[in-house]
Amino acid sequence: MKRWIVKGALCASLWVGLSGCMVSSGPLNADEAILGTWSSDESVAVYDISRAADGRLEILGHSTLSGREIMISDVSWDGKVLKFKSYVPATDHRAEREARLINSKTMKAKIFSNGEVYEYVFTKTGQGSTGVSRRPGLDGSNER
């Protein structure tokens, strides 16, 4: 017999104020669901989230508009909220970001930049990769 769980309490903890909750056949494994390539129709940023050999999350980013690398630093993940800082050297654009999973293929992100707050929905467009650190972050936090 298939068990259906309405994740009312889980949805509330993943995104306060979320209207409606997803119905699924089991619990969301957030530590696995966060991994992958994420993009949004509302943003030019694409992020590849992977796990390093030591278990830390690593994020690579780039702009689909310019192709420029988005440098990432101060990555933290508590199983509910992903936080990181981004910086595009060519434009000197800096932002702080917070993202929360809605389900295994959707996350809602808040971007704090220049005194403004923007909200975007990102969808998983690929599985991403795991285990290999490719580029260091702004402060060397992604270095091995």
Q: What is the pLDDT of residue 69?
A: 93
pLDDT above 50 (res 14):
no
Are 13 and 3 a contacting pair, CB within 8 Å? no
Q: What is the pLDDT of residue 91?
A: 87
Closest CA to 94 of 128, 139, 55, 135: 139
In a domain, 78, yes or no: yes
In a domain, 66, yes or no: yes
In a domain, 57, yes or no: yes
Closest CA to 70 of 52, 32, 97, 50: 97
In a domain, 137, yes or no: no
Q: What is the pLDDT of residue 139?
A: 39
Sign of the torsion angle spanned by Cα atoms 120, 125, 131, 134: negative
Model confidence band, residue 19 (pLDDT cutoffs 50, 70, 90): very low
Across the range 1-21, mean pLDDT stands at 33
pLDDT above 50 (res 1):
no
Residues 40-74: tens digit of each pLDDT: 999 899 999 999 999 899 999 999 988 889 999 99
Rounded to whole angstroms, the Cα distance separating 141 from 122 reads 24
In a domain, 5, yes or no: no
Residue with structure tokens 């981004």? 86
Number of separate domains in the chain: 1
In a domain, 139, yes or no: no
In a domain, 7, yes or no: no
Residues 70-124: tens digit of each pLDDT: 999 999 999 999 999 999 988 899 999 999 999 999 999 999 999 999 999 999 9
Q: What is the pLDDT of residue 26?
A: 52
In a domain, 86, yes or no: yes
The tokens for 94 are 């800096």
CATH no. for residue 96?
Answer: 2.40.128.20
Range of 105's domain? 26-126
Closest CA to 84 of 111, 104, 122, 63: 111
